[in-house]
Structure 1
Amino acid sequence: MTDILALFSDPAVLAALITLIVMEVVLGIDNLIFISILSNKLPESQRQKARRIGIALALVLRLGLLSMIAWIVGLTAPVFDLGIVGPPGTNGEPAFETEFSWRDLILIAGGLFLVWKATTEIHHAMDPVHTDDLLDKESPVVSLTFGSAIVQILLLDMVFSIDSILTAVGMTDHLPVMVIAVIFAVGVMLVAADPLANFINRNPTVVMLALGFLLMIGAVLIGDGFGVHVPKGYIYAAMAFSALVETLNIFSRRAQAKKAAASNRGD
């Protein structure tokens, strides 16, 4: 305990903790958006439970991975090399990294899954009529089972957890700092999960925007796996700007609806 107190008395460690908390919270946004969209496809009685389990799994995975830091760092070591040579005039340098580590493969697989899932959900939103509906219009159609949702959340939790822990390892060497930052970030996810999911559910256009975010995040994960690194600041700045524009659209639609309602009462 004395060692921990002495550790956090160092201003440099405190600065690293604050910076890492901010980074972990920002990185958790991707995870939270996916959990929100997926849980909203479940029956209403199961949604909160799925979100709680998904976030709890994210915490367990992150803390478990922190206990295996040496193994996590080892995931960045090259596993194989494609040996591709670039075209003439490029000094033999290919357009992307040809050496792949386990981290790269996990990011590529996670990115492909995100792109597939987001594309499927967009198709469902654009064309919601399914064969089951046509066969029996009276029976309620559950678009996702609880077990399937948990499995998909677990898979993406793993991808986002590895990215989160590697970010933490790159910013500090102190395990207590990483643990506190991870617990704080997951706590923020837990608090924000229900309000975010309910907001997305109440505003259909936000669903499409969130799916667009997932598509972009998936593409970034794939690019990162191939060694094409897009600064995350650009990604989150674009997401924040898009969210701001959509917020203005929501306020505009509400104002128009109130005006139309007042006009109807006047008539």
Structure 2
Amino acid sequence: MQEFFSIQGLTTLVMLVLLQAVLGFDNLLYISIESKRAPEDQQSWVRRVGIVLAIGLRIVLLLVIMLLIDKVKEPLFKLAIPNPFASEMAAESDPAPAPEPLSPVGAEGPVTSAGKAAHDEHGGDRPGGSSYIFFGDFTLHSLITLFGGAFILYTAVKEVLHLLAVEHIEHGAEGQPTKPVGMVVTMIVIMNLVFSFDSILSAMALTSHFSRGPAFWLMAVAVVASGVLMIYLADTVSEFLKKNRMYEVLGLFVLFIVGVMLLGEGGHLAHLTLFSYHVEPMAKSTFYFTLAVLLAIDIVQAKYRKKLLAQRAHELQDDHV
């Protein structure tokens, strides 16, 4: 434990807690929105129990990933849909016959660097070329990330459509159908684990210079500390969204972007290729910049709406006078 209590260890611990807190923002947003599905008098209890259970399971997940890190990143299966027009596309891109045919990898004769480059440019057999309409080399990590992104995307779209429903407009939150408490807690725990997958891998990168024991305890303490912070903030965030309904729309669109980001990250991990185009992940800086822009737009619109309402009220008062 000497490494744990060293200056380097304590500094790393602070960095890990900050990392977990920053990466846990979208998780906290999901918890606040999902917990509304529980009966109103049990929503706070659902949030706390869901987070506490998730903390325990995240520590178990951390231990499993540390022991099976290579297995998590090993390819599980490949899925490919060949492009039936690949040969025609290659012929159209280079109609003039070459003096000497370029030998693909594994054929007789030496493969020159120019020949390999031309072969790759036309697609060849690699997933990035025109040989495939769809190609994916899936790992457990990529499948979990893709599943999480798709589910969050579905949740965000479903909640936005629910906000636009007539019964929601007429009755507000009271008209919202409820789910069994156990189901809500289960969804909070599952999505908490999905969100924590990448944060655990990032934390492992920060603690790579420590031996396995101190590294595990550093990450476990950071997980518990961030979980306690999440419990403390969960009710505050939920109450804020409840009192400021317009920011609930902002939160749903932030979740939508999180879903897109996770899909892009999962596609990148799976080397996903669609019609010769590689799926590229969204940079975290792009996500936070988009979040800042959305928040700024929402604040400006809220102030402008308040100003318009005050102006109209003043005009109506003048008309009555």
Coarse TM-score class (shorter-chain normalised): 0.7 to 0.9
Match in the other structure for 1:70:
67
Residues 212-262 of structure 1, C-alpha deviations (whole Å, 9 max, x = no match)? 111111111111111132221221221133223323444454566677778
Match in the other structure for 2:111:
none
Q: CA RMSD in A?
A: 2.9
Picking from 220, 223, 227, the partner of 1:182 is 223
Picking from 161, 164, 171, the partner of 2:206 is 171
Name the amino acid aligned to 1:158. L
Match in the other structure for 1:199:
240
CA distance in 2, matches of 1:144, 1:233: 36
Match in the other structure for 2:35:
39
Residues 80-117 of structure 1, C-alpha deviations (whole Å, 9 max, x = no match)? 12356796536544358732101111111111111111
Displacement after TM superposition at 1:79 (Å): 0.9
Residues 225-236 of structure 1: matches in 2 within 5 Å?
225-227=266-268, 228-236=280-288
Residues 12-27 of structure 1: matches in 2 within 5 Å?
13-27=9-23
CA distance in 1, matches of 2:299, 2:5: 39
Name the amino acid aligned to 1:94. P
Picking from 196, 219, 224, the partner of 1:161 is 196
When structure 1 is superposed on structure 2, of 107-116 and 157-166 the one drifting more is: 157-166
For the Cα contact (< 8 Å) 1:81–1:100, is it kept in 2? yes
Residues 10-159 of structure 1: matches in 2 within 5 Å?
10-11=7-8, 13-68=9-64, 69-82=66-79, 88=90, 89=121, 91-92=123-124, 93-95=126-128, 98-129=136-167, 141=175, 143-145=177-179, 146-159=181-194
CA distance in 2, matches of 1:44, 1:252: 32
Picking from 296, 300, 304, the partner of 1:244 is 296
Relative distance call for 1:251 and 1:235 in structure 2 (3 A) is same
Name the amino acid aligned to 1:117. T
CA distance in 1, matches of 2:147, 2:165: 27
Name the amino acid aligned to 1:185. S
Name the amino acid aligned to 2:78. D
CA distance in 1, matches of 2:315, 2:37: 36
Displacement after TM superposition at 1:200 (Å): 0.9
Displacement after TM superposition at 1:28 (Å): 0.6
CA distance in 2, matches of 1:128, 1:56: 36
Q: Which runs of 5+ in 1 are unaligned?
A: 131-136
For the Cα contact (< 8 Å) 2:148–2:191, is it kept in 1? yes
Name the amino acid aligned to 2:237. L
Name the amino acid aligned to 2:177. S
CA distance in 1, matches of 2:299, 2:37: 23
Name the amino acid aligned to 2:299. T
Displacement after TM superposition at 1:263 (Å): 8.3
Name the amino acid aligned to 1:121. E
Q: Which runs of 5+ in 2 are unaligned?
A: 91-120, 129-133, 209-214, 269-279
Relative distance call for 1:164 and 1:171 in structure 2 (3 A) is same
Name the amino acid aligned to 2:27. N
For the Cα contact (< 8 Å) 1:84–1:98, is it kept in 2? no
Residues 42-96 of structure 1, C-alpha deviations (whole Å, 9 max, x = no match)? 3321110111122112211211112222135521211112356796536544358
Match in the other structure for 2:272:
none
Instruction: State the identity as a percent.
Output: 30
For the Cα contact (< 8 Å) 2:72–2:139, is it kept in 1? yes
TM-score (norm 2): 0.70
Relative distance call for 1:195 and 1:81 in structure 2 (3 A) is same
TM-score (norm 1): 0.82
Q: Counting helix residues as a fraction of each chain, which structure ranks higher? A: 1
